[in-house]
Structure 1
Amino acid sequence: MKSTVLLTTLSLLLSPASAQTETFEERCEGLTESFSAADTSILIADYVTQGTNITFPETIAAGNTCLKFIISSTDMCRLRLNVSTSDTSSVIVEVFLPTDWEAEGKRFLMTGNGGLGGCIQYADMTYGTSLGFAVVGHDNGHAGDSGLPFLNRAEVVKDYAWRALYTAGQVGKSVVNHFYPSNINKSYYIGCSSGGRQGMKAAQDFPEEYDGIVSAAPAVDFHAVIAAGGHVFKSTGPAGSATHLTQDQWNAVHQLVVAQCDGIDGVLDNVIEDPMKCQPRPEALLCGPGQTWASDQCLTAAQVLTVRKVYSPIYGNDGKLISPRLNPLTKEFVGYRAMYGGVASYITEGWYKYALYNDPTWTVQNDFNWNVVDHDFQQDLYGVGTDKTDLTDAKNNNTRILMYHGLADCLISSENSYRYYERVSRDMGLPSDDLDEFYRFFPISGLDHCTGGDGAGFVGGSVQYSTPGALNVDPADSVLMTMVKWVEQGIAPETLTGRKLVGGVVTGARAHCKHPLKTTYKGTGDPNLASSWECKTA
């Protein structure tokens, strides 16, 4: 999968000379005639002014909605394309082309998706254009965040695994190079969750496409992440079962974890700096004789065992480690809805039902077991597992990889990222000092899944720009611009700046240390100030 594979099929019709005689708006609206690419149709070519409310035609699928509108952050050209990837599949590609692109460094930015991957991250695209990037997004080959489009459509699964990302990048770059008088200087990628997996997929299989990849909370080792969703549901059971905990009960577990572990880092702030040091004892909530939740806010023995299972590593057939435990914090409603709420994860069920088995009657409740998990690992449809640990091509290409993961992530265990990083180190035979040349990992305390949480978790990353007040934070030390400095100036990050946003106001900051160093309180000073923390070896 090299750049020449698709680019050789692209026909670019507008000459640079003619482009210079037209206004930006004229060139934009003329794209319907001037731009052509194989298997590609242009759906929209519009000049959009700053402050415009842009609406999108994405479908609502299986109860999961995509963003329906966004406010443009700058004057730009918006191009929407439909690109065929096979006789039975296609990908919707959006390209945002800001007016100040050349003045701002001639940079290209690809954005990722989330969940089962059918929603374009328009907030990330808009933020990228505010910084002068030409930005591309895509629907990963199907509309809506649901697995239903996978049913008996192998080519759509292939798009989800890798092809939509690769195709959108190729077509998007051809649009950018066609539209502006100058060619792209540097190319970047940013994504979280499934978008983080996509970033690591690019790093593993086609790193030549990007100079810098920002991958957050990546769903690498995809089949383990999917299996964890099934295991958690089977452990908690549906609402009303003896093993199920209500949201209020999980909130009580959260407070118990905070009470037992918050002080380990020396600061009582509802943030666990290193959750791997936290081994919560849920038995502290066990009801005594005659006690109940209604009268005493306690848990039954079956419920305590559920908490134990959720906060323990997951083992499958023959004692094989499938996945690390989930992080021992469960405050966010999204975690309850997706993992603990008595309904099987739509991601887990959607993948097994529609992609793996093509069986609409399949359910986690009735059919999930460790043989299913083994089968999923063995099939590894189109390499969706994203578990390759040899990043030699990325290293040789000088592709920079910045991975970060929230340590309060309620959906994908942060230990999954630690595990992947250490496997890369072992399999490549590179200690951290050598990996630092091209691959760095930043654990972010107090950050939930991609966004949210009680800590200084706003790092200017993917999906964080819907946070109130986010656009008012100076982007100079955002993770995206941190990557730009690494690629273009050779300034490699030792820390990643995070801020705590409350009601749109910054109330604290922390310089999160690069793994394997630990972000450590100095013992004195205001813990809300980054200067009160340091990076230590233990």
Structure 2
Amino acid sequence: MPIPISKLGLPAIAFFMVVGNIPAVQAQDSAPDSCHALRDVVVDGATVTSARVMDASGDLPAYCEVRATALPTISIEIRLPLEGWNGGFYQAGCGGFCGILGRADASGGFINAMGPGLAKGYATATSDSGHLGLSVVDAEWADRNPGAERDWGWRSIGETHRVAQAMIEAFYDTGAETAIFQGCSTGGRMANMAALRYPEHYDGIISGAPALDYTGLVATAMSWFVQANTDDEGQQILKPGKEALIGDEVMRQCDGVDGEEDGFIADPRACNVDLSGLECGSEGAGNQCLTPEELDVIAAWRQGPRDSAGNQLYPGGIPEGSERFWPVWLTGTEAGAPAVVPLFAKGFGAYMAFPDDPGATWSPTDFDFDTDPARLSTMAAVYNSDSTDLTAFREAGGKMIVWHGWADAIVPPYKTVEWFEATAEATGSQEALEENVKLYMIPGLDHCGIVPGEGGLSQADLDPLTAIETWMSSGEAPETITKAQ
């Protein structure tokens, strides 16, 4: 159930106040000296830990890199172009359970990365969301740590904005004229949270594959996917190697449903796949057929989580057309790399999902679909950003692009579609909502476009930043967020 914005508990105004009389540092006077002088800027509730000049590299200009900590433990990186600042601010979210400052900028893509904004002349910033993690599936930091959970849930978004604005004001002697937030997955959850909790901070928001109902997804749905693929001895049923067999049959039955055979499924909801023709005996036959037990796994994945009375607990399941991406997310690879979904489900359930953390011994196979969903409500109020009340953001004139791949196997797209439709109804109509918020569904695209799909389709084919810039400047919502061919 969407969480009313009135129940989200806006942080005290004091968190957003910067100590007055911040000394103005003129970037154009002497770039190195001006950058280094930022070490002495005083910001309430935060500490500047370093400031250094970084040389131009590739398509990135030279910039002043500032590292700061918003108390108690939110690590923030800010990048300030030494020349050619466009007067804007670009804030990036982070992926998974975060915990690794600036991780996304090492990937070369735009997802949760500062680079695309910096390349266009924006002052940029991101954070680790308030903790140090050994990986993006490491959730031990949250063990009996409600403050850290709050920072990850929402506070790091506002604190990153606040500290970055102080640095921008000090370096350029003026504030940013516009602000954009961009994120995907957890970063998409953060993007929606930015619209809900900080509606006047951002003129444009880019929300990709948003994990809006984090408790419903990572606790309930992912536990369902794990349990469905675990036998009575605790062993994995559907193992790596059969994804191509399943995917080819799905595409054979579904590709032309939309009237065009192009290697993409335009909307999995329009496809009703029958895999019985691939069935073999329980003894199996290599990767050339599916055992009855494997067929049961796929059926459960497609259905999505339900309680013992048959009530749907999270919208839909694993979409048709996502099979080629299952080795990363669901089955693991034949080379031995583990699937990501069980790792997320394990960490989240052990340390983040419940008010009282069960700890390291907890397993996704322990999740009770009759009793545990109700226990998630406390943390749902901290993490989830699926409220349909975007009134404040819309009244502030903000523009928001929401995008999701139809072939997403870790954050299934059906929740995003359901949320958008419910938000349109709450707003009055889809036409009214689309004055400020527009949804773009992309056939064949993996989660955040991370793994290349048919024809190499990936995040490299998208350009939501140019799309949001155009919308903000012209007032006309773009027809597409894909790059011009």
Instruction: Tell whether 2:107 aligns with 1:115.
Output: no
Which residue is 1:25 aligned to? 32
The answer to whether residue 24 in structure 2 is matched with residue 15 in structure 1 is yes
Q: Structure 1 residues 316 and 416 mapped into 2: Cα distance closer, same or farther (>3 Å)?
A: same
Given the superposition, is the C-alpha separation of residues 418 and 99 from structure 1 closer, same or farther in structure 2, using an over 3 Å criterion? same
Alignment RMSD: 2.7
| CA pair 161-371 structure 1, distance change in 2 beyond 3 A | farther
For residues 45 and 337 of structure 1, what CA distance do their matches in structure 2 show?
44
Secondary structure of 1:141's aligned partner: coil
**Structure 2 CA distance, aligned partners of 1:291 and 1:359?**
38
Contact 1:327 1:409 in 2 (8 A): yes
Amino acid of the structure 2 residue aligned with 1:273: A
Task: Name the SS for the 1:42 alignment partner.
Answer: strand
Show structure 2 runs of 5+ residues with no match. Answer: 1-9, 107-112
Unaligned ranges ≥5, structure 1 = 52-70, 465-469, 500-508, 510-538
Cα 1:43–1:338 shift into 2, 3 Å: farther
Gap change, CA 1:21 and 1:276, over 3 Å in 2: closer
Residues 444 and 457 of structure 1 are in contact (CA less than 8 Å); yes or no, is this contact kept in structure 2? no
SS of 1:218 mapped into structure 2 = coil
The structure-2 alpha-carbon separation of the partners of 1:8 and 1:496, relative to structure 1 and needing over 3 Å to count, comes to closer
1:275-424 maps to which residues of 2 (within 5 A)?
A: 275-287=268-280, 292-294=284-286, 297-316=288-307, 318-323=309-314, 324-328=316-320, 329-332=322-325, 333-336=327-330, 345-355=342-352, 356=354, 357-371=356-370, 373-424=372-423
Q: Contact between 2:80 and 2:168, CA under 8 Å: does it hold in 1?
A: yes
User: 2:143 matched to 1:151?
Assistant: yes
Asked if the contact 2:406/2:442 (under 8 Å) is kept, the reply is yes
**Counterparts of 1:232 and 1:215, CA distance in 2:** 25
1:40 aligns with 2:29: no
CA distance change for structure 1 residues 237 and 343 in 2, over 3 Å: closer, same or farther? farther
Query: Does the Cα contact within 8 Å between 1:446 and 1:457 map onto a contact in 2?
Result: no
**Correspondence 1:262 to 2:250:** no
Corresponding residue for 2:466?
481
Does 1:134 find its partner at 2:123?
Answer: yes
How many angstroms does 1:291 deviate by? 6.8
Counterpart position of 2:436: 438
1:96 is aligned to: 79
Q: Distance in 2 between matches of 1:238 and 1:203?
A: 42
Q: CA deviation at 1:6?
A: 3.1
When residues 301 and 107 of structure 1 are mapped into structure 2, their CA distance, relative to the original with a 3 A threshold, is same
Rounded to whole Å, the distance in 1 between the matches of 2:232 and 2:209 is 28
- The alpha-carbon distance between structure 1 residues 147 and 337, as it changes in their structure 2 partners (threshold 3 A), is farther
**TM-score normalised by the chain length of structure 2:** 0.87
How much has 1:8 moved relative to structure 2? 2.6
Change (3 A) 1:457 1:385: farther
Measure the CA separation in 2 of the matches of 1:138 and 1:478. 23
Preserved CA contact (<8 Å) 2:249 2:275: yes
Percentage identity across aligned positions?
23
1:77, 1:40 → 2: CA distance? 18
More off after superposition, 276-285 vs 415-424: 276-285
* Kept after mapping to 2: 8 A contact 1:232/1:310: yes
Range with bigger deviation, 278-287 or 157-166: 278-287
Distance 2:358 2:379 in 1: 18
Which residue identity lines up with residue 125 of structure 1 in the other structure? M
In structure 1, the partner of 2:157 is: 165
Structure 1 position 449, deviation (Å): 0.3
Note closer, same or farther for the CA distance 1:454–1:21 as it changes in structure 2 (3 Å cut): closer
SS at 2:124's partner residue?
A: strand
Asked whether the equivalents of residues 264 and 454 of structure 2 are also in contact (C-alpha less than 8 Å), the reply is yes
Q: Distance in 2 between matches of 1:366 and 1:277?
A: 31
Q: Secondary structure at the match of 1:492?
A: coil
Q: Distance in 1 between matches of 2:268 and 2:360?
A: 38
Q: How far apart, CA to CA, are the structure 2 residues paired with 1:153 and 1:193?
A: 23
Question: In the TM superposition, what whole-angstrom CA distance separates every residue of 1:106-140 from its partner, at most 9, and x where no partner exists?
Answer: 11011011111223332521221111111101001
Deviation readout 1:379-426 (Å, 9 max, x if unpaired): 235431222111111111111111000011111111111011011122
Amino acid at match of 2:330: Y
Q: 3-state DSSP class of the match of 2:453?
A: coil
Structure-1-length-normalised TM-score:
0.78
Match in the other structure for 1:514 = none
Structure 1's 149 and 72: CA in aligned 2 closer, same or farther, altered over 3 A? farther
Distance (Å, rounded) in 1 between the aligned partners of 2:95 and 2:303: 26
Q: Deviations over 1:509-533 (max 9, x none)?
A: 5xxxxxxxxxxxxxxxxxxxxxxxx
Summarize the Cα distance change of 1:8–1:366 in structure 2 as closer, same or farther, 3 Å threshold: closer
1:305-341 Cα distance to aligned partner (Å, 9 max, x none) = 1111111132225443222112122212322357996
How far apart, in 2, do the equivalents of 1:247 and 1:353 lie? 26
Distance 1:308 1:336 in 2: 14
Structure 1 stretch 178-187 or stretch 313-322: which is displaced more?
313-322
Q: Secondary structure at the match of 1:96?
A: strand
Distance in 2, matches of 1:269 and 1:495, equals: 19
With a CA cutoff of 8 Å and minimum separation of 6, indicate the structure with the bigger relative contact order. 2
Aligned residues between the structures: 455
Q: 1:261 to 1:82 in 2, by over 3 A?
A: same
Q: Could you say which structure has the higher strand fraction? A: 1
Compared with structure 1, are the counterparts of its residues 394 and 344 closer, same or farther at alpha carbon in structure 2 (3 Å cutoff)? Answer: closer
Q: Are residues 338 and 320 of structure 1, via their aligned partners in 2, closer, same or farther at CA, if it must alter by over 3 Å?
A: farther
Aligned partners of 1:74 and 1:98 also within 8 Å: yes
